[in-house]
Chains A and B, each alone.
Chain A
Amino acid sequence: MTIKAIQEDLIDEFSMFEDWEERYQYMIDLGKTLPLIEDAYKTQDNVIKGCQSKVWVHAEMDDDKVVFTADSDAIITKGIIAILIRVFSNQHPKDIIAADTDFIDEIGLKEHLSPTRANGLVSMIKQLKMYAIAYQTQLN
């Protein structure tokens, strides 16, 4: 699936929730199912210090696609990571570089991607893009 199609799926899924509780419960449950990053990758090098919650990201190439795994010590942050991974992982680097994150606004989670939120997610997206740029350079 393309990034755009996944984002549209997410918008559809979230539109079914009636209130914040359902939305957050869904994210929390997602957070619980996220494939954890392998402990070996939970290193200082891979950590994004978000001040309040920590985020770990690891990237590797599978053919011409980038596969991301990630984790956080806070479960709501982890739920949002699960959403971001679903959108960005297993995609071609150039598509990751070109993608935007406007859908977050539409699914009602904008406040979590505010640069002043201190949960590490804004830096995480930057990091995903940096990995994509690095891999793209390798492919060229």
Chain B
Amino acid sequence: MFNVETIRKDFPILHRQVNGKPLVYFDNAATSQTPQQVMDAIVEYYSNYNANIHRGVHSLSQEATDKYEQARLTIQKHFNAKASHEIIMTSGTTHGINLVASGFTTLLKKGDEVIVSALEHHSNIVPWQMLCERTGAILRVLPMNDEGELVMAAYADLLSEKTKLVFVNHISNALGTINPIKQIIEQAHAVGAAVLVDGAQACPHLKPDVQALDVDFYVTSAHKMCGPTGVGMLYGKEDWLNKLPAYQGGGEMIAEVTFEKTTYADLPHKFEAGTPNICGGIAFGAAIDYMNHIGFENIATYEHELLEYATAQLLEIEGLKIYGTAKEKTSVISFNLKGIHPYDVGTLLDKMGVAVRTGHHCAQPIMDYYKIPGTVRASFAFYNTKQEIDTLVSGVKKAKMMLS
């Protein structure tokens, strides 16, 4: 049974105060909070089996290696990858994207085309621009409409045999739009292009099945889904990971080194140079276990309820406009009050204990589309409540009164 009050007991931070008021944490799209179970995994690691992995004969190292590899299996199972070596441990979404973008340097040539969606986070734009600069490939943009949905009719026109890569987020961080990635992948494959999906915003809300999606690359960060910062994963189809050259050189990623020649280790180690974030990887596994224990169906149902409740309440405020009104969206509400700068609203809400994000949310092209400097973004997680939404709504009303 899903009981939010019981769940909240798992999150110590939700019981603290900010500026003398009980914290209302609505910046979940930036980073999620950490349950005790994940913190316990971190403490247990450092208390019991902290050691470097894959290289010691001693018991501690063996235990740490086993736990770390067990986390990889947890991730593999969660995303339904065919093999555990298709899961590359990374420092996060940004790292995964850069790894793939760097690898494609040798696979693209001048005149090839790559498609980026208009809804991307800067992390899923800049590495590809750099790739295009290196290779002479052309960057094309899949446009969005006023609702914040991708214009799929334009997609077919952009695709051609020149298209080599498409990158799109599963869910937009600025607007909450859930993109039709299955269709995007199918159409890309029809012209022989590979697809990278940025799942940073999707993984806290749903359970992607990489085989069912038939996606080529899927990247995410642990810190958006109850895990620690600085760790994440890149899923890649085995064929693609074999085709891509190694990214960084170092220990762990080699089979044999002489000064004449180095041969690289097999997957996944080929892409995992240096001592990884061992504790973080193990905690990532614990976070996935925790979220599955809550249950993604429960999470989706409850968060949808929060979204509908908050949307209805906020829309009652005169002059409030919500950006991103896609039919398919997650519990993210980006909004502005007429004539009022989002920064002012965010500053006053903070004084009332309500944490929201303001600004362009690392998605400047979306703000340019709407011709606004930014928005106030409230993003809800399964541990938030309707009472907290009431606090947000009355806070916005108060901010409006003070500012107009």
Query: B351 touching A25 by the CB < 8 A rule?
Result: no
Query: A73 touching B341 by the CB < 8 A rule?
Result: yes
Give chain A nearest CB distance to B264 CB in angstroms.
40
With A24-B402, A51-B359 as contacts: A76 and B344 at CB distance below 8 Å: yes
Interface residues of B in 337-360 (CB under 8 A from A): 340-344, 347-348, 351, 358-359
Query: B402 touching A52 by the CB < 8 A rule?
Result: no
Query: A52 touching B374 by the CB < 8 A rule?
Result: yes
Give Cα distance in the complex from A54 to B372, angstroms.
Answer: 13
B403 at the interface (CB under 8 A from A): yes
Query: A52 touching B344 by the CB < 8 A rule?
Result: no
Chain A residues with CB under 8 Å of B374's CB are: 52
Give Cα distance in the complex from A119 to B358, angstroms.
Answer: 11
Query: A21 touching B402 by the CB < 8 A rule?
Result: yes
A90 at the interface (CB under 8 A from B): no
Give chain B nearest CB distance to A56 CB in angstroms.
14
CB-CB contacts of B364-404 with A at 8 A, as 1s and 0s?
00000000011000000000000000000000000000110
With A20-B19, A24-B348, A52-B374 as contacts: A74 and B341 at CB distance below 8 Å: yes
Chain B residues with CB under 8 Å of A54's CB are: 373
CB-CB contacts of A24-40 with B at 8 A, as 1s and 0s?
11001000000000000
Residues of B in contact, count (CB < 8 Å): 15
Chain A residues with CB under 8 Å of B403's CB are: 28, 75
The residue in chain A whose Cβ has the minimal distance to the Cβ of B401 is A25
Query: A74 touching B19 by the CB < 8 A rule?
Result: no
Query: A52 touching B358 by the CB < 8 A rule?
Result: yes
Chain B residues with CB under 8 Å of A75's CB are: 340-341, 344, 403
Give chain A nearest CB distance to B342 CB in angstroms.
8
Chain A residues with CB under 8 Å of B343's CB are: 52-53, 74, 76-77, 119
Give chain A nearest CB distance to B368 CB in angstroms.
15
Query: B402 touching A25 by the CB < 8 A rule?
Result: yes
CB-CB contacts of B197-222 with A at 8 A, as 1s and 0s?
00000000000000000000000000
Give Cα distance in the complex from A52 to B346, angstroms.
Answer: 11
The residue in chain B whose Cβ has the minimal distance to the Cβ of A29 is B402
Give chain B nearest CB distance to A62 CB in angstroms.
31
Chain A residues with CB under 8 Å of B351's CB are: 20-21, 24
Give chain B nearest CB distance to A97 CB in angstroms.
30
Give chain B nearest CB distance to A82 CB in angstroms.
14
Give Cα distance in the complex from A90 to B63, angstroms.
Answer: 69
CB-CB contacts of A41-84 with B at 8 A, as 1s and 0s?
00000000001111000000000000000000111110000000
Give Cα distance in the complex from A24 to B374, angstroms.
Answer: 22
Give chain B nearest CB distance to A77 CB in angstroms.
7
Binding site for B on A (CB under 8 A): 20-21, 24-25, 28, 51-54, 73-77, 118-119
Binding site for A on B (CB under 8 A): 19, 340-344, 347-348, 351, 358-359, 373-374, 402-403
Those 9 A-B pairs whose CB atoms lie nearest each other, nearest first: A74-B341, A74-B343, A52-B343, A53-B343, A52-B359, A76-B344, A20-B351, A74-B344, A75-B344
